[in-house]
Structure 1
Amino acid sequence: MSNTNIEQIADILYHAKTNNIPCLPIRNLLETASIEKAYQVQAINIEKEISQGNHITGKKIGLTSKAVQKQLGVNEPDFGTLVNSMEVSPDENKLAFSHLMQPKAEAEWAFVLKKSITKEIKSIEELQNYIDYAVIAIEIVGSRIQNWDIQIVDTVADNASASHYVLSKEEIPLSHINFTDCQMQLFQNNKLTSEGTGKACMGNPLLAVQWLANKMVEMKTPLQKGELVLSGALGPMVNLKQGDQFKVVIDQFKPVELAIN
């Protein structure tokens, strides 16, 4: 595939985002349905975000459910890049619906790194030496692809369907969390609409972070000190609409909330 074609595909997705008009799937525009090439498309559009004054805040991990991986015909997760314009202020906990495209909400653990990860991580015990703390997160995913008609190369090129996120203010030591058996409840307008446990995210959210850390080392773009990692949903995602109020509770920790205006 030529660089021109990659740039043209990136332009299609960027135009869809900036004009808030979903585009057709881009997989048929790829000469080969290559995940590597899709990541190149993703990277081009992140560079555009940076050129517009944004900066990278971390990564998000997608496809952490084995069922979803099977549905898309892959055997590992994917990742997207987070920039500061995606973060919702935890002081306001409000997000304008007009900023969203085909949005869905999900709940997960997020982690902040205290050290850069520049070598392969062989265990989650080793990984924990690099993590400062965990926070509860609500992630809003969105697709620039019309009707969420996605296969793996579509979502990878579309930055793993990243949209926005809000974090709890409570910084939780890893030793305080049972990552496999923690109980998540997502309330939408005071109604329980999604629930699950840590096992839903690759058996343990730290395994997802380990995968990402090693993938980034492999790609020679290692995770950096201070970066945030959204590790993947602990339960089914839910559709959202203007006016929705969300609250996520995990075990005994302080909840995180988000209002869609």
Structure 2
Amino acid sequence: VTLAEAYAIQSALGEGLPVKGYKLGLLSPAKQAQMGITEPVYGRIYSAMIHESPVRLDRLIQPRVEPELAAVLCAPLAPECTPGAAAAAIGGWFLGVDILDSVWNGYRFSAAEVVADNSSGGGFLLGARMIDCHPDGILRLYLNGTLRAEGDLQTLGNVYERLCWLATMTGGLREGQIIFFGSPATATPAEPGVLEVVGPDDDHLIARLEVE
């Protein structure tokens, strides 16, 4: 299928469910070139995908986790909006975790395949407190006290331009929606125990991952 058809499949799989927000993926030019595309991809977030601790890993197929920066919108954004309007629409920044999951064995897929599978969106964790964070600095993810992934938020590019692109692609964004801006770090396989994300100003998101 084409990429446009893959987005139609993604939409159809969530038909009737209100969209709580969106996630961005495949942000780096190198990854885009590898996948044969020239822009990022996005997936939809539904209410049931927002988790609180503890998170049940055995309800997922092959979960992986990524540290991310997320924002909650305090105003709607129309298609073709400006980066200034996008910046003004951000009501608050939060630490987040994208809990990846995939129907494709070993996460081996084409761009259209991953988009049709909701861009590997399995679930999401959102920090309990708003952080005073301009989108730069280092995010680190620990599992059971061991550093598993880290990356510089500058690799995400201009987050306001990303938000404008997303608003155009989706036909507009609504007040209250949550946007996950992608991860500056490599995904790591999830495992039971304590997950911790540490932000640039020593902000923390802590959650427990469990299996039955």
Fold-level match, TM-score > 0.5?
yes
The answer to whether 1:133 aligns with 2:92 is yes
1:62/1:160 contact within 8 Å kept: yes
Deviation at 1:246, TM superposition (A): 1.1
Find the aligned partners of 1:71 and 1:119 in 2 and give their Cα distance.
28
Cα deviation digits, residues 57-110 of structure 1 (max 9, x gap): 111111112222122111101111111111112xxx211111111111001111
Sort the Cα spacing of 1:71 and 1:168 in 2 relative to 1 into closer, same or farther, 3 A.
same
Indicate the structure (1 or 2) with the bigger Cα radius of gyration. 1
How large is the RMSD of aligned CA atoms in angstroms?
1.5
Give 3-state SS (helix, strand or coil) of 2:58's partner.
Answer: helix
Give 3-state SS (helix, strand or coil) of 2:174's partner.
Answer: coil
Tell me the residue number matched to 2:63.
103
Give 3-state SS (helix, strand or coil) of 1:200's partner.
Answer: helix
For residues 210-221 of structure 1, what are the structure 2 equivalents within 5 Å?
Answer: 210-217=164-171
Deviation at 1:147, TM superposition (A): 2.2
Find the aligned partners of 1:127 and 1:253 in 2 and give their Cα distance.
26
Tell me the residue number matched to 2:24.
61
2:20/2:46 contact within 8 Å kept: yes
Tell me the residue number matched to 2:133.
177
Amino acid at match of 2:203: K
Find the aligned partners of 1:70 and 1:134 in 2 and give their Cα distance.
30
Query: Comparing both structures, which one devotes a greater share of its residues to strand?
Result: 2
Find the aligned partners of 2:178 and 2:197 in 1 and give their Cα distance.
19
Tell me the residue number matched to 1:226.
176
Tell me the residue number matched to 1:42.
10
Tell me the residue number matched to 2:107.
148
Deviation at 1:170, TM superposition (A): 1.3
Considering Cα pairs closer than 8 Å and 6+ residues apart, tell me whether 1 or 2 has the greater RCO: 2
Deviation at 1:253, TM superposition (A): 4.5
The answer to whether 1:205 aligns with 2:179 is no
Q: TM-score, normalised by structure 1?
A: 0.76
Deviation at 1:156, TM superposition (A): 0.6
Tell me the residue number matched to 1:252.
201
User: What is the identity percentage for the equivalent residue pairs of Structure 1 and Structure 2?
Assistant: 25
Q: TM-score, normalised by structure 2?
A: 0.93
Find the aligned partners of 1:113 and 1:207 in 2 and give their Cα distance.
15
Sort the Cα spacing of 1:44 and 1:119 in 2 relative to 1 into closer, same or farther, 3 A.
closer
- Unaligned regions of 5+ residues in structure 2, if any? none
1:216/1:223 contact within 8 Å kept: yes
Amino acid at match of 2:5: K
Find the aligned partners of 1:235 and 1:210 in 2 and give their Cα distance.
23
Find the aligned partners of 1:111 and 1:85 in 2 and give their Cα distance.
18
2:71/2:93 contact within 8 Å kept: yes
Find the aligned partners of 1:230 and 1:252 in 2 and give their Cα distance.
19
Cα deviation digits, residues 172-207 of structure 1 (max 9, x gap): 3xxx4232x311111111111111111121x23333
Sort the Cα spacing of 1:214 and 1:255 in 2 relative to 1 into closer, same or farther, 3 A.
same
Between Structure 1 and Structure 2, how many residues are aligned? 210
Deviation at 1:136, TM superposition (A): 0.6
Sort the Cα spacing of 1:253 and 1:205 in 2 relative to 1 into closer, same or farther, 3 A.
farther
Which one is further off, 97-106 or 207-216? 207-216
Tell me the residue number matched to 1:79.
42
Instruction: Choose from 118, 124, 147 the match for 2:78.
Output: 118
- Unaligned regions of 5+ residues in structure 1, if any? 1-32
